[in-house]
Amino acid sequence: MLKKSLLTALFLLVGYEILMRSVDAWWSTGQNAPQSSVVRAHDFIYATKTYDNIMVGSSIGNRITSKVPADSLPRSFYNLSFGGQSIFDGLQILKKMDYKPQRIFIEMNVLMRNEDPDLQASLFSPVMYPVKKVMHSWRERNQPLGVLARLPLVLDGNPDLQPATPPTGLERSEDSYKAMLAVQLEAQKNAYPENYVADQINKLKTLVEYFQKQGVQIIFFEVPVDPKLCGMGAPVQLRTMIKAAFEPMGCKFVDMPDCEGYFTTDGTHLEKISVYKYLRYFRNELKRQGIMP
Amino acid sequence: MLFNSFEFVALVLVTFGLYYLPFLRRIQVPILIAASLFFYGYTNPKLLILFLVSVIINVTTSYLVVHGLPQRRRAYATVGVVMNLLILAFFKYSPLFGRTFFPPGHSVGEFLAYVPLPIGISFFTFEGISLVVDAYRGRDIPKYRSLVAKSITRHAINTTFFVAFFPHLVAGPILKAHDFIPQIKEKFFGELDWQYCYKALVTGYFLKMVIADQLNHHTFWIQYPYFETHSTFVLLTLLFGYSIQIFADFAGYSLIAIGVAGLFGYQLMQNFNFPYISTSFSEFWRRWHISLSTFLREYLYIPLGGNRKGQARTYFNLMITMVLGGLWHGAAWSYAVWGTFHGLALAVERFWRDRHPAPEKPSVLRQILSGLLVFSFVTLAWLLFKLTDFGHVIKFMQALFNNTGFSSYMAIVVYVALYSTPVVLYHLYYLYKTHNPTHTLARRAEPYVYGLMFFLIVTNSGIGTDFIYFQF
């Protein structure tokens, strides 16, 4: 029984590794938000290609590519924004990899969340990091049940290989949207204690200084949210304090556009239709400020 | 130290290597004690202080119960039980006491609110109680007399090992002194039952890492305020998913504990016996967290009088046992409510059965309906585990009724169904085996099923999370 069982496992492991090396399972992604973060990080960590522009952020910045085809940003961009995580996660990954892009774009919306030590530990585990580098079948993206669950998507073809179709209409459920917006309004109406924000800014300053010394240009950007939230206590406070701290350090800013006319799924995350709108604004701003041609 | 961490695997391998060296055979138990103390104090060595204090109390009181002055046996046993309960009460229930009985900002309330909860305290204090009570019962039960060795040193070593043995230390199964201490003797590599260990470990790790850890990130949506945004259908799916997750998490943990203990030649009691096939609440509690339910029966329900003092008293004893069993899980009133629900279910079921005895051979339809009723009730009650704020439980129930018109996020449904299926099959396979004792085909397929599970542990594990029962 033992021998048969172990041989079965070995056979499946070898067979699946061969399969994953011969098939690009583009349709498979993370099966949940934390796993999607790991997949996005792995795609970056194990990539053979290098990127000049890196975005770091939370689920708010994550939408900028995850909900639209890859051609929404220039190919030189990689978005290291993670759902449920913070800007510090992306920055720590870059630091651990000793990665020196030309520019780092830092999302301003969610400053108060800290990096996730478990995510960092799992990405750079002394055992699993080298193993996953070699074994494609061991990476989260290629989990057999995940590949199986999303197999029907193969019928639609890889969206990254097709021209992007401009979205029309809203995806959101109005009831869900209203319920979550009410929660967000309550959560963001008051400013944070000043010293909490100061501590986060100091932590971020250390990282910004580190990257600036490596010759990396730092650009802050703020993604528009629901018009009702834009002027709330918490976002106004963060906006003001971040600008006051980092403008003197030579950092550039892509200010948040007027929130009117932007739609969100739940108050803070942009609808696909608004992601496109924001991207047009974002790219125009980069040109206008001479940050990118 | 988590069972699903590389540190744990390294600890087991090193301990295993030393344990079976012929020239170290005489110190096998001290080797396991050292490994267990390392395991327990790995992330927070300060925890060892309280743990060792608890051990000293149990060594002393149980020794005195057997070898002290005969007229004081009861007093020693009482002191032992009370000390264990005081340790448990102070460290586990101080925050609840502080929040409930003191106004916000009150210095005593603030102090109590920040008393830390040492991991595993609910388990090792219960094991201490088991030792003291079993030692006391030795007067009436001959086989219990050997539980306390004549030499205080030997007794201290046995007791420390019984409580500290790392596979069960932080989340059970809750050992009983009369089950475990008689097993303490030299073990030989040649006597190892590899198949038993392999099956327990593979099933345990599969349930934990592939099922529970994957479901964990979907059932996350049961948290407030996220459930507000989901449709009734998705909310019901999530409840079902959490029911499967909590089983996979805890049964997985227990099986890993059983498998690892087996590697060192020790048998821990089965903690789960396919609970979701239960067709009655009493059957559920004979199959779910068996080590806790048997502990409560032996050390609480029966001493209270069990069912020997009339019907009304029986219902009362059931209620009190289940409420306390609920509170054992955590310092929140929601756990007491959860226990009350189960106590009520047991009492009502008993009341009904006393008046309407079940037929000798119930029909298949009747069994299926009973099974669905029990599963639905148990699943709904788990909500009190997931949402310890009672206000959120009420909001969830409101959402369950109000969100009928919401559109459903089908990805959640697909993944919950995908990862729940193996647990459903696991229970169905057990039913099949029960009704087909020969089940030749299934037996032939077993090695391949274990091989598949092994493969999925390696390639399809979720992001590692704490075991749910660590918080208890």
B403 to chain A, any CB pair closer than 8 A? The answer is yes
Domain check: are B227 and B143 in the same one?
A: no
Contacts of B455 in chain A (CB under 8 A): 8-9, 12-13, 16, 144
pLDDT at res. B468:
65
A151 touches chain B (CB under 8 A): no
Residue B55 and residue B202 in one domain: no
pLDDT for residue B215:
95
User: How confident is the model over B302-353, as pLDDT tens digits?
Assistant: 888 888 888 888 888 888 899 888 988 887 888 889 999 999 999 899 888 8
Residues B93 and B161 in one domain: yes
- Between CA A132 and CA A136 the distance in angstroms is 6
Q: Is the pLDDT of residue A6 over 90?
A: yes
Chain B residues with CB under 8 Å of A179 CB are 225, 228-229
Q: Would an 8 Å CB–CB cutoff place B391 in contact with chain A?
A: no
The Cα A267–Cα A229 span in angstroms is 7
Determine phi and psi for A267, rounding to 5 degrees. Answer: 110, -35
User: Is residue B110 domain-resident?
Assistant: yes
Residue B374 within a domain: yes
pLDDT of residue A167: 75
Is position A159 within any domain? no
Tell me, yes or no, whether B342 lies in a domain: no
Neighbours of B167 (CB within 10 A): 26
- The CA distance from B183 to B175, in Å, is 12
- Put simply, the answer to whether A2 touches B446 (Cβ < 8 Å) is no
Whether residue A71 has pLDDT greater than 60: no
Residue B63 is part of which domain span? 6-191
CATH code of the domain in which A118 resides? 3.40.50.1110
Kindly tell me if the per-residue pLDDT of A69 is higher than 70: no
Is B196's Cβ below 8 Å from some Cβ in A? no
Nearest CA in chain A to B455: A9
- Shared domain for B166 and B178, answered yes or no, is yes
Residues B143, B177: one domain? yes
Closest CB to B459 among A32, A118, A137: A137
* Residue A147 and residue A28 in contact, taking contact as beta carbons nearer than 8 Å: yes
CB–CB of A241/A199 below 8 Å?
A: no
B447 close to A (CB below 8 A): yes
Number of domains in chain B: 2
Are both B72 and B26 inside the same structural domain? yes
Which residue numbers of B are catalytic?
329
Reply yes or no on whether the pLDDT at A125 is more than 60.
yes
Assigned token pair, B274: 């396919």
Q: Per the domain annotation, does A222 fall within a domain?
A: yes
Give the span between the Cα atoms of B53 and A11, in whole angstroms: 51
> B240 and B137, same structural domain?
no
Q: Which residue has the higher pLDDT, A113 or A1?
A: A113
**What mean pLDDT is predicted for residues A181-188?**
89
Of B403, B450, B460, the CB nearest to A145: B460
Any domain includes B139:
yes
Interface subset of A 97-136, CB within 8 angstroms of B: 118, 122, 125, 127
Whether A74 maps to a domain, the answer reads yes
Q: Which pLDDT score, from 0 to 100, does residue B304 have?
A: 86
What amino acid occupies position B242? Y
Same domain for B107 and B175:
yes
- Which candidate in A148, A176, A178 is best for mutational testing of the B interface (most B CBs within 10 A)? A176
Q: What are phi and psi of A55, to 5 degrees?
A: -100, 135
Domain final residue pick, B169, B191, B213: B191
CA-based nearest distance B465→chain A, Å: 9
Torsions phi, psi for A107 (to 5 deg): -70, 140
Closest approach of chain A CAs to the CA of B329, in angstroms?
26
B185 and B217 inside one domain: no
In chain B, positions 209-268, which contact chain A (CB-CB < 8 Å)?
A: 214, 217-218, 220, 225, 228-230
Q: Does a structural domain hold residue B73? A: yes
Q: What is the pLDDT along chain B (472 residues), one digit of tens a residue?
A: 788 888 899 999 999 999 999 888 889 999 999 999 999 998 888 889 999 999 999 999 999 998 888 888 899 999 999 999 999 988 888 887 887 888 887 888 888 888 888 888 888 999 999 999 988 887 667 777 778 888 899 999 999 999 999 999 888 799 888 889 899 999 999 999 999 999 999 999 999 999 999 999 999 999 888 888 888 999 999 999 999 999 999 999 999 999 999 999 999 999 999 999 999 999 999 999 999 999 999 889 888 888 888 888 888 888 889 988 898 888 788 888 999 999 999 989 988 888 888 787 888 888 899 999 999 999 999 999 888 888 889 989 999 998 888 778 888 999 999 999 999 999 998 888 888 877 777 778 889 999 999 999 999 998 877 666 655 5
Which residue did the predictor score with more confidence, B349 or A69?
Answer: B349
Smallest Cα distance from A140 to chain B, Å: 7
Give percent of chain A with pLDDT exceeding 90: 57
Residue B267 and residue B436 in contact, taking contact as beta carbons nearer than 8 Å = no
Average pLDDT over residues A164-169: 73
DSSP B317-342: HHHHHHHHHHHHH-SSHHHHHHHHHH
Residue A227 within any structural domain of the chain: yes
Asked if residue B467 is part of any domain, the answer here is: no
* Omega of the bond leading into B173 within 30 degrees of 0 (cis): yes
Q: CB within 8 A of B119, min separation 6: which ones?
A: B40, B47, B170, B470
- Structural domain contains residue B250: yes
Range of the domain at A222: 32-151+173-289
Contact A145 B448 (CB under 8 A): no
Q: What HEC string does chain A produce? A: CHHHHHHHHHHHHHHHHHHHHHCCCCCCCCCCHHHHHHHHHHHHHCCCCCCCEEEEECHHHHHHHHCCCHHHCCCCEEEEECCCCCHHHHHHHHHHCCCCCCEEEEECCCCCCCCCHHHHHHHCCCCHHHHHHHCHHHCHHHCHHHHHHCHHHHHHCCHHHCCCCCCCCCCCCHHHHHHHHHHHHHHHCCCCCHHHHHHHHHHHHHHHHHHHHCCCEEEEECCCCCHHHHCCHHHHHHHHHHHHHHCCCCCEEECCCCCCCCCECCCCCECHHHHHHHHHHHHHHHHHCCCCC
Determine, for residues A5 and B419 on separate chains, whether the beta-carbon distance falls below 8 Å: no
Using CA atoms, how far residue A195 sits from A88, A115, A232, A241, in Å, is 18, 19, 19, 11
Q: How near does any CA of chain A get to the CA of B225, in Å? A: 7
Query: Which residues of chain A neighbour B451 with C-beta distances below 8 Å?
Result: 4-9, 11-12
Residues B137 and B236 in one domain: no
Q: Which of B407, B459, B464 sits opposite A143 (nearest CB)?
A: B459
A25 inside domain: no
Closest Cβ opposite residue B459 in set A2, A5, A144: A144
Contact of B401 with chain A, judged by CB distance below 8 Å, is answered with: no
**Out of A5-9, A28-32, B218-222, which region has the weakest mean confidence (pLDDT)?**
A28-32
Instruction: Flag if A35 and B403 touch (Cβ within 8 Å).
Output: no
Structure tokens at A90: 């992306």
Q: Do residues B261 and B377 share a domain?
A: yes
Q: Clarify whether residues B109 and B129 are in a common domain.
A: yes
Could you give the number of structural domains in chain A? 1
- The 10 Å CB-count burial string (b at 16+, else e) for A119-137 is bbebbeeeebeeebeebbb
Q: Which of B191, B225, B256 is the last residue of a domain?
A: B191
In a domain, A81, yes or no: yes
In tens, the pLDDT along A219-269 reads 999 999 999 999 899 999 999 999 999 999 999 999 999 999 899 988 899
User: Which of A3, A12, A32 should we substitute to test contact with B (largest number of B Cβ atoms within 10 Å)?
Assistant: A32
Chain A positions touching B217 (Cβ under 8 A) are 31-35
Task: Give the pLDDT mean for A192-212.
Answer: 94
Q: What is the pLDDT of residue B155?
A: 92
Rounded Cα–Cα distance for residues A185 and A257 (Å): 20
Asked if the structure places residue B145 within a domain, the reply is: yes
Confidence class of residue A29 from pLDDT cuts 50, 70 and 90? confident
**CA of B447, closest CA in chain A: separation in Å?**
4
